């Protein structure tokens, strides 16, 4: 939540259960809890009400059910009952200003987490903010030179990686450019990842126009050169998809279909990047 204040995403005293909040929650969770224990944002969102500063706002006719509920397991159940949470006005005002907000963040981290976790949480907070700024820059500046010269050295790897992903996933609205699927969980996990068309290690180019949102399968297939994209944005399929024991399923049916493109033309895949992919990565035969 502090991150959302930092990014200027909280415009009024109503904390909603958005996918952005869910994603940020997951990022911190993954840093500090063993891998096999999946986080559930519903638990803190619901149970913080007993802390006194966090007031759940019931939807119409849900007040009785909400007051009677002693626990809440699923996000859909919580969303059916509440619009969001309102903070005490005094706390809300504290969170709107950077200095007291940063102070509160440190106090919370130092009070509730072991020293070895404190470092990770502070670092993740910095990465979240940096990646947010980076994605904003990527979405605003389209000139390749500008990106390369001013941004490459300014941001650490994790922030660049996360910022590139954020920018690409936003412009593709969570849709896989190749197969077209879009699937999100209620807490913001998405089926797509952000793929570089020309890899970063070669092109140092994080512009959304050198990226595509791809689902896990399409990402792997694209990086392996089994699918590519033509000059006219149609999908090209390698004949290797069909060899031997392969069972490529729907992948072969994508051949000749147009890719899903961002609404804004400036973010469409750069013809030069696609050309590079066809020449250096695509296994035509």
Site string for Zn ion, 176-195 (x = CB under 5 A): x-xx----------------
The CA-based diameter of the chain, rounded to the nearest angstrom, is: 67
| 81 forms part of the interface with Zn ion (CB under 5 A) | no
Distance CA 261, CA 90 (A): 45
| 168 forms part of the interface with Zn ion (CB under 5 A) | no
Distance CA 14, CA 102 (A): 20
* Strand, coil or helix: 198: coil
Q: What is the radius of gyration, based on Cα positions, of the chain?
A: 22
Closer to Zn ion at the Cβ: 4 or 177? 177
Closer to Zn ion at the Cβ: 148 or 174? 174
| 218 forms part of the interface with Zn ion (CB under 5 A) | yes
Among 87, 215, 259, 274, binds Zn ion (CB under 5 A): 215
| 241 forms part of the interface with Zn ion (CB under 5 A) | no
**What is the distance of C-alpha 162 from the center of its chain?**
7
| 226 forms part of the interface with Zn ion (CB under 5 A) | no
Closer to Zn ion at the Cβ: 198 or 215? 215
Q: How far is the CB of 20 from Zn ion (least distance, A)?
A: 23
| 254 forms part of the interface with Zn ion (CB under 5 A) | no
Give the torsion sign (CA, 233, 189, 152, 262).
Answer: positive
Distance CA 184, CA 258 (A): 23
Q: How far is the CB of 191 from Zn ion (least distance, A)?
A: 8
């Amino acid at each position: 939540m502090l991150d959302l204040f930092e990014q200027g995403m909280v415009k009024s005293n109503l904390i909603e259960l958005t996918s952005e909040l869910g994603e940020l929650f997951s990022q911190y969770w993954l840093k500090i809890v063993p891998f096999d224990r999946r986080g559930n944002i519903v638990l803190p969102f619901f149970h913080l009400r007993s802390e006194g500063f966090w007031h759940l706002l019931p939807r119409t006719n849900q007040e009785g059910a909400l007051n009677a509920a002693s626990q809440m397991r699923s996000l859909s159940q919580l969303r059916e009952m509440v619009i969001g949470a309102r903070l005490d006005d005094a706390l809300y005002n504290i969170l709107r200003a950077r200095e007291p907000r940063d102070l509160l963040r440190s106090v919370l981290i130092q009070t509730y987490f072991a020293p070895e976790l404190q470092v990770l949480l502070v670092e993740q907070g910095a990465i979240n903010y940096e990646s947010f700024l980076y994605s904003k820059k990527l979405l605003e500046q389209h000139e390749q030179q500008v990106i390369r010269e001013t941004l490459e050295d300014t941001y650490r790897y994790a922030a660049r990686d996360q910022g590139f992903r954020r920018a690409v996933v936003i412009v593709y609205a969570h849709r896989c450019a190749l197969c077209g699927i879009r699937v999100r969980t209620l807490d913001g996990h998405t089926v797509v990842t952000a793929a570089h068309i020309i890899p970063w290690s070669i092109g140092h180019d994080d512009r959304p126009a050198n990226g595509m949102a791809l689902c896990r399968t399409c990402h792997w297939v694209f990086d392996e050169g089994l699918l590519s994209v033509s000059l006219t944005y149609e999908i090209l399929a390698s004949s290797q998809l069909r060899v031997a024991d392969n069972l490529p399923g729907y992948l072969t049916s994508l051949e000749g279909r147009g890719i899903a493109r961002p609404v804004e033309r400036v973010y469409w895949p750069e013809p030069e990047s696609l050309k590079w992919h066809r020449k250096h990565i695509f296994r035509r035969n």
